[in-house]
Amino acid sequence: MSKTLPKDFLMGGASAAYQVEGATKEDGKGRVLWDDFLEKQGRFSPDPAADFYHRYDEDLTLAQEYGVQVIRVSIAWSRIFPDGAGKIEPRGVAYYHKLFASCEKHNIVPYVTLHHFDTPERLHEAGDWLSQEMLDDFLAYAKYCFKEFPEVTHWITINEPTSMAIQQYTSGTFPPAEKGRFDKTFQAEHNQILVHARIVNAYKDMNLGGEIGIVHALQTVYPYSDSKEDKHAAALQDAFENRLYLDGTLAGKYHQETLDLVKEILDANDQPMFKYSDSEMKEISAAAHKLDFVGVNNYFSKWLRAYDGASETVHNGTGAKGTSVSRIHGIGEEKKPDDVETTDWDWPIYPKGMHDILMRIHDEYPLVPATYVTENGIGLKEELPENATDETIIDDPKRIDYLKKYFGAIADAISDGANVKGYFIWSLQDQFSWTNGYSKRYGLFFVDFPTQKRYVKKSAFWFKKLSETHEIED
């Protein structure tokens, strides 16, 4: 029997400014941490990405046609404040007013992220999430947006604080590309939790009547075996990636057990504990009681086993299956069970992980009123057939299969009591990927990167039907 979603379940598509807009040098936009990093790396350029800066109306037309009711977009901070603070760029402000007006025209509600990995360059150089200046300027920018864009009723403070911090300071895949700095990782994470709390508190004080939440990358972590050692490795990985953050934003306090696990990771790597004060924890607690929703980004799960060698991480940024490695001193080694299938980028496909993380939020973090799946999807190598015409439809059976399974898991979590109000596929259209460039495609709509022409994928038809019927086809 097919599973169903509630009638008021919202179907959406997700994007992020730097990954879709392109136009990084247009209309006075300021530089961000990625510009210099990608230029030096020389692998791929963020321009023109999906050229959303010029083609947003075309994409929103398609989105509406294929059953998209809500969309995640982010504001590029550096389009509004090119230098992160101070002088405002009116052309950037005007662009977002036009984008939101287009959303309204197409009957699509925007969920707007204030920071999606694109720190302005000056603030990145000042220390990014480790600097007080960044925290102050981010709060000021958020307040400016709340006043300037009353047409936005759903705000997201930060996209994936933990994944940004880990990639900046542990795995080194994001600028400034440091490796093995757990102290900086946890400090950057706490600082983001703090400034998120300040923004939530400020937003609620402004009485604007809208909703505000935060989005987290939540990879469900399981022990590789039933051994005590593997279970402990899984608990450490979970504290590292999920638990500190969930505690801070959803419970408004760090549980002692979480802090003990964090300290164990830091001690094993001879690094100091992150700093936080009682007064900061009061702000964090107040915000957790006012938060309207949490967004869950879940693509895959992890299995951990005990490991006591030196840290070694290799990122698969090319789609060469089986090339990624993650062994972290003081945590453990990632090792998936043989029968779990993976994508070409080594991401294990495990829908039960989605169910389990949604249930965990429901069971362990009762303060949070609502949950959205704010990112989920599959990255595939896809090509436009040589003889393509305007009517060509891109066949993506693997995506349809993935979506069926993950939607099934979401429906199961809802039946089990989780309050999941909607789903945003990553991604609406093919986009630029931070560490994989243009070869890892996630979209419902194919973007031919040289010409920027859009083609519909079969999964978009599947998505539209689900949006209309709320029945998940077997």
Instruction: Reply yes or no: is the peptide bond before residue 48 cis, omega within 30 of 0.
Output: yes
Strand partners, 301: 220
* 11: helix, strand or coil: strand
- Tokens linked to 74: 């982010």
Round to whole Å and give the CA distance between 247 and 353.
19
Backbone CA torsion sign across 338, 341, 343, 347? negative
160 is catalytic: yes
- At its nearest, how many Å lie between ligand BG6 and the CB of residue 218? 11
Q: Is 116 annotated as a binding residue?
A: yes
Q: Which is nearer to ligand BG6, 77 or 307 (CB)?
A: 77
What is the rounded CA–CA span in Å between residue 318 and residue 104? 38
Catalytic (active site) residue 121 = no
Give the C-alpha separation, 134 to 194, whole Å.
12
* Strand partners of residue 425: 13
Amino acid type, 231? K
What span, in angstroms and rounded, lies between the C-alpha atoms of 15 and 52?
10
CB of 276 to ligand BG6, least distance (A): 25
For residue 435, the minimal CB distance to ligand BG6 (Å) is 5
Q: What is the smallest separation between the CB atom of 327 and ligand BG6, expressed in angstroms?
A: 20
Q: Is 159 annotated as a binding residue?
A: yes
Catalytic residue among 160, 189, 241, 334: 160
Q: How many CA atoms lie within 13 A of 205 on its CB side?
A: 10
By beta-carbon distance, which residue lies closest to ligand BG6?
433
Residue 3 or residue 302: which is nearer to ligand BG6 going by CB? Answer: 302
Closer residue to ligand BG6 (CB): 300 or 303:
300
Tell me: is residue 160 an annotated ligand-binding position: yes
The tokens for 196 are 């998120």
**Least distance (Å) from ligand BG6 to the CB of residue 95?**
20
- Order across the sheet with 332-334: list the strands: 220-223, 301-305, 332-334, 325-328, 312-314
Query: Cβ-count burial of 335 within 10 angstroms (0-12 exposed, 13-18 middle, 19+ buried)?
Result: middle
Distance in Å, CB of 376 to ligand BG6, minimum: 10
> Which residues contact ligand BG6 (rule: CB under 6 A)?
16, 19, 159-160, 163, 217, 297, 375, 379, 426, 433-436, 440
Tokens of 271: 């690094």
Residue 440 known to bind ligand: yes
Specify the 3-state DSSP secondary structure of 467.
helix
Do the annotations mark residue 102 as ligand-binding?
no
Q: Exactly one of 21, 283, 375, 382 is catalytic; which is it? A: 375
Which lies closer to ligand BG6 via its Cβ, residue 188 or residue 259?
Answer: 188
442 marked ligand binding residue: yes
Task: Give residues with Cβ within 8 angstroms of 449, minimum separation 6.
Answer: 48, 430, 438
Q: 276 labelled as ligand-binding?
A: no
Binding site members: 19, 116, 159-160, 297, 433-434, 440, 442
Q: Which residues are catalytic?
A: 160, 375
Binding site members for D-galactose 6-phosphate: 19, 116, 159-160, 297, 433-434, 440, 442
